[in-house]
Amino acid sequence: MKLHRREKWLGVVVAAAGLSLMLVCLPSAVAGTRTITTGGRLYAAQPWGTLPHNFNPYAPSGANAPGTKSCIYQSLYYFNGATGAETPLLATGYKWTDNNLRLVVTTRSGVTWSDGKPFTAADVAFTFNYFKANPSIDLNGIWTSPLKAVVATGKNSVVFTFSKPDTPEAVFILYGTDGTPTVILPKHIWSSIKSPSTYTNTKPKPVGTGPFTLLSFSASSVVYGKNAHYWQAGRPYIHEVIFSSVDSDTTAELGLENGSIDMSYDYISEAGPTFLSKSPNNHIFWPVSDMNYLYLNTTAGAPFGDVSFRKAVAYAMDTPFLALRAYFGMLSGATGGEEAAVTGPQVSAWFNPKLSSLEWTYNVTKAKAILKAAGYKWSSGGQLESPTGVVYPSYNVLIGGPGWTDYISQADNVSLELAAIGIRSTVEQEPYSTYANDLDLGKFTFAISWGNGNGPTPYYQYFYMFSKGQIGTTNWERFTSPTITNALSSYASSSVASVQLKDMYAIENQVLTDVPVVALSGRANWLDYQTGTFTGFPSASDPYNDGSASDAEGSMLTYVNVHEK
């Protein structure tokens, strides 16, 4: 259910001000004075199907073997989608200079590739220029930005020069996007690869800077062993990571319960009684990193183009109830600043509390009053009518699938709540490919889906959700305004925190006033694990990653932190 495209992670890091970000340093090899046990094999399992014999990190999402992005290759930074924290990896610092026309990145010293060759800034410059020469692997569209040159200016310095300021491009460069990290490639190997988009990177075995190297591959499992050249002293503690493809999420859950696997990635319905209560070793880490929204197609004709209609729909949504039924109390309904499409972890730093009077809460009486004041009527059977007395038809509430139980629940209850104010609707579930296409083409009236471009500040969500250039791709509700366009442009041209905060306030006001989307609930990552063998997994008290899937880039931090009990 996650969108693994450029839209999922957009980014600008406010390097000078650091308004909402935390810098997380990689932990040292010694945790206090306690002796860490080294060794052991960590087993991760999910229903991946037949595993692809492909270790090309720039193959399309899902086309490479699990572990490619979490064991072998690394980006310059890791950005935590749940907390906004940044962890330096192959870079140790960065800054905008020359009126935000130059991004200067300092690369890490003392790093070697897994074949023993030294890593330098030249590898970084090569990687980005390789994207330019081979657009098919520029999966995050880095060269579609105003970027005009990338040059290594020393052994540990790379300069990215832009034709005009575009500070949001920093995260694409430093990290990438959720599911498609911008990992650095070894120049001494990839410079001879002439067709990188079709290269499977299997012979000889892949060379990276990550904590593990490939030991063996089969269609159902991949085994990685500790990288003897890994740059972080003393890490990883474990000696092997084994990824296994299983039949179903249920099989993985049973594996966690009986201790045959250590981690998986799955939303477990009613996790309390069905999983957590079965053993003190069973754990979930489901941090909110996104939101679920009810999208209203503002170009679908009357009444969707009317702000009064959209606002009435917002007041008709009992978001705590919707979240409770879909997630059994594990995630909260959208309230407060989240109604302005500001994700929960960002509200305290980025939402303007002076806008609280514009927020909406569940109130059917008020929803009907808004409609009545705008001239709407109701038939004798309680169906909503236009101001001229025409009964509105039944609308669709579009969701994807199959098997998306949380969305099925939310859509069913959204339909009931629309009915409470006279709006007839039916839930329409489509296969993912059709659903994604219909969202892009606007073939819906109501639709439930995730946010796009979630990142360390609200800008990223707003850019992909509301900018003109994204209509037909991620601006699914097809709404924009001069206020939003100007605020996005101002933000992207600046690295000054106060300027960017003011720009976000302007968009928040517009969203709460015009209601192009209705936030329904938080949306989480679904990391599940058991601690019978290992400890050191991410948790609510130590959220060093965002609950990343076991084959995703954030799990690299898990593999360098966990150790035997």
Residue-wise pLDDT tens digits, 410-448: 999 999 999 999 999 999 999 999 999 999 999 999 999
Query: Per-residue pLDDT for 38 more than 60?
Result: yes
Report if residue 220 sits inside a domain.
yes
Report if residue 502 sits inside a domain.
yes
pLDDT attached to residue 2 = 28
Residue 518 pairs in a beta bridge with 294
Query: Per-residue pLDDT for 169 more than 60?
Result: yes
pLDDT band at 401 (very low <50, low <70, confident <90, very high): confident
CATH of the domain at 514: 3.10.105.10
Both 205 and 348 in one domain: the answer is: no
pLDDT band at 22 (very low <50, low <70, confident <90, very high): low
Report if residue 313 sits inside a domain.
yes
User: CA angle, corner 456, sides to 21 and 13, nearest 5?
Assistant: 65
The C-alpha torsion from 303 through 309 and 313 to 315, rounded to 10°, is 180
Query: Per-residue pLDDT for 26 more than 50?
Result: yes
Both 212 and 349 in one domain: the answer is: no
Q: What is the per-residue pLDDT across 457-516, written as a single tens digit (0 to 9) for each?
A: 999 999 999 999 999 999 999 999 999 999 999 999 999 999 999 999 999 999 999 999
The length of the chain in residues reads 565
* Cβ-count burial 484-515 (b if 16+ within 10 Å, e if not): beebbeebbbbbbbeebbebbbbbbbbbbebb
Tokens (6 digits) for 450 = 């995730």
Q: What is the mean pLDDT of residues 18-47?
A: 69
Query: Per-residue pLDDT for 31 more than 90?
Result: no
pLDDT attached to residue 380 = 95
Q: What is the mean pLDDT of residues 34-44?
A: 92
Q: What is the mean pLDDT of residues 63-69?
A: 96
Report if residue 268 sits inside a domain.
yes
CATH of the domain at 62: 3.40.190.10
Q: Can you spell out the DSSP letters for 498-536?
A: HHHHHHHHHHHHHHHHH-SEEEEEEEE--EEEE-SSEE-
Both 461 and 532 in one domain: the answer is: no
Nearest alpha carbon to residue 310 among 523, 519, 521, 481: 519
Report if residue 1 sits inside a domain.
no
SS3 state at 132: helix
Nearest alpha carbon to residue 539 among 176, 83, 4: 83
Both 312 and 432 in one domain: the answer is: yes
Domain that holds residue 454: 289-524
pLDDT attached to residue 25 = 63
Q: In whole angstroms, what is the distance from residue 238 CA to residue 232 CA?
A: 13
Residues 6+ apart with CB under 8 A from 92: 106, 107, 108
Phi, psi for residue 67 in degrees, rounded to 5 = 100, -20
Q: In whole angstroms, what is the distance from residue 5 CA to residue 178 CA?
A: 8
Both 56 and 87 in one domain: the answer is: yes
Query: Per-residue pLDDT for 16 more than 50?
Result: no
Q: Total structural domains in the chain?
A: 2
pLDDT attached to residue 455 = 78
Q: In whole angstroms, what is the distance from residue 334 CA to residue 520 CA?
A: 5
pLDDT attached to residue 23 = 61
Q: What is the per-residue pLDDT across 300-324, written as a single tens digit (0 to 9) for each?
A: 999 999 999 999 999 999 999 999 9
pLDDT attached to residue 1 = 28
Both 510 and 500 in one domain: the answer is: yes
pLDDT attached to residue 27 = 55
Query: Per-residue pLDDT for 406 more than 90?
Result: yes
Report if residue 230 sits inside a domain.
yes
Both 233 and 295 in one domain: the answer is: no
Query: Per-residue pLDDT for 29 more than 50?
Result: no
Query: Per-residue pLDDT for 30 more than 90?
Result: no
Q: In whole angstroms, what is the distance from residue 30 CA to residue 98 CA?
A: 40
Sequence letter at residue 345: P
Q: What is the per-residue pLDDT across 340-362, written as a single tens digit (0 to 9) for each?
A: 999 998 999 999 999 999 999 99
* DSSP assignment letter at 68: I
Q: What percent of the chain has pLDDT over 70?
A: 94
Q: In whole angstroms, what is the distance from residue 299 CA to residue 27 CA?
A: 51
Helices 405-419 & 319-327 angle (0-180, nearest 10): 150
Both 322 and 264 in one domain: the answer is: no
Both 532 and 496 in one domain: the answer is: no
Both 309 and 279 in one domain: the answer is: no
pLDDT band at 287 (very low <50, low <70, confident <90, very high): very high
Calculate the average pLDDT of the chain.
93
Helices 458-466 & 482-492 angle (0-180, nearest 10): 140
Decide: 140 and 177 in contact? Cβ < 8 Å: yes
Query: Per-residue pLDDT for 9 more than 70?
Result: no
Report if residue 375 sits inside a domain.
yes
Both 271 and 391 in one domain: the answer is: no
Q: Count the alpha carbons within 13 Å of 139 in the hemisphere toward its beta carbon.
A: 22
Q: What is the mean pLDDT of residues 99-117?
A: 98
Which residue is listed with tokens 């924290």? 85
pLDDT band at 177 (very low <50, low <70, confident <90, very high): confident
Q: What is the mean pLDDT of residues 198-217?
A: 97
pTM to 2 decimals? 0.90
* DSSP assignment letter at 552: S
Tokens (6 digits) for 528 = 């599940």
Q: What percent of the chain has pLDDT over 90?
A: 89
Q: What is the mean pLDDT of residues 229-252?
A: 96
Both 412 and 452 in one domain: the answer is: yes
Q: What are the Cα distances from residue 531, in Å, to 243, 251, 560? A: 17, 18, 16
Query: Per-residue pLDDT for 7 more than 70?
Result: no
